[in-house]
A = this chain, B = another copy of it.
Amino acid sequence: MKAIKHVNVEKGMKINDLIKEFSNSNVMQAGKLAKAVDILEKMIKDKDCKVFFGQAGALVPGGMKNLILDLIRNKWVDIFVTTGATLTHDLIEALGYEHYQGDENADDEELNKKGLYRMYNSYMDNRAYQKIEDFIKENFDELSKAKKINDFLKILGSKVKHKDSILRACYENNIPIFCPALSDSGLGLMVWGQLTQGKEVSVGAFDDLKDILDIAWTSKKSGVFYLGGGVPKNYIQQAMQFSKEAAYGVQVTMDKAEFGGSSGASLKEGISWGKMQSHADFVDVKVDSTIALPLIIASLKERLL
């Protein structure tokens, strides 16, 4: 049995040194977070391991875009599974709009009159949607060559000029983006808008499964990293189930197991499904992603760069 070593902090302390303190205390959610960094370090360093990164939640309006870019540009993740919302938010910024600091207690009727959409305490200018529509229209001939969602997103990424874009970074770094529910987003709606104007697209609803399963099958080992739950987590989990169990796992979420849904399910539960190896290195961390992710990335930079 190991004693808990109390966490010490100092003036000028580096983030990674704090995470090491958390590792020494090894208790409560701070201990879990330190374990998450250790496991991510291992899975990234493991040459045989493909890292499947699933992300849900408003991380771009949440100021976390550059940290997702860090994961991509450092090739710390091999596959990116996300929501249509994240890609829409990314594209909005890539096309010159920004997200704004807001107030969760604001008068939503007032915001509506001002043309501002609220996401908790961040705002988006509703004119951004017009910009996406124009961009999709402009590039539709090429986009419509895609037969799969991940191809569609690769083409889309190739068209983005803004250097700090997730879509573009994935394209440049050959990281496939899976987004099973792309139609469930502003971006999806703008594609549909083209269809209403007589354009055609034949992206299949099931075809991406082949690609993610091929990657999962052919990797020697798999690791999973989830920020939030939803479709991205589940889509990776089922790829593990139908290929081989993950050897590493990190889940950061505020969703809870007690209400039975997939988003809050513990990684441990995945063992019953054959999604997670029974002796895998894994951890669930119950802390908001906007705090956990920066601490994780700063520590990984210290350890891996």
Q: Hey, which bits of chain A sit against chain B, CB under 8 A?
A: 1-16, 18, 21-22, 25-31, 33, 56-58, 61-67, 70, 85, 98-102, 104-106, 108-109, 111-112, 116-123, 149, 164, 180-186, 188-189, 191-192, 195-196, 201-210, 213, 228, 230-231, 234-235, 238, 242, 254-263, 265, 268-274, 278, 286-292, 294-295, 297-298, 301-302, 305
Contact = CB atoms under 8 A, between A and B. Distances in A.
Most chain B beta carbons < 10 A, residue from A13, A289, A292, A301: A13
Given A21-B294, A105-B105, A206-B201, A231 B228 contact: no
A12 B12 CA distance: 10
Please give the count of copies of this chain that the complex contains: 4
A254 B262 contact: no
Contacts of A1: 100-101, 123
A258 B120 contact: yes
Contact of A262 (B58, B104, B295): B58
B191 A180 contact: no
Contacts of A58: 28, 260-262
A290 B287 CA distance: 10
B238 A184 contact: yes
A120 B260 contact: yes
Interface of A is mostly: mixed
B205 A182 contact: yes
A277 to B, nearest CB: 10
13 contacts: A3-B98, A6-B64, A9-B294, A11-B305, A12-B302, A13-B298, A27-B61, A28-B260, A85-B262, A108-B271, A185-B234, A259-B289, A291-B292
A3 B99 contact: yes
A28 B228 CA distance: 14
B305 A65 contact: no
A66 B25 CA distance: 12
Contacts of A13: 14-15, 298, 301
Given A28-B63, A63-B7, A188-B209, A288 B290 contact: no
Given A25-B101, A27-B290, 6 more contacts: A1-B100, A12-B302, A28-B259, A57-B259, A186-B238, A189-B242
Nearest to A62: B28
Given A112-B274, A181-B231, A209 B238 contact: no
Contact of A111 (B2, B18, B272): B272
Contacts of A278: 108-109, 112
Contact of A204 (B70, B85, B201, B262): B201
A112 B272 contact: yes
Contacts of A206: 182-183, 188, 191-192, 195, 201, 203
A261 B208 contact: no
Given A288-B30, A291-B287, A294-B9, A4 B112 contact: no
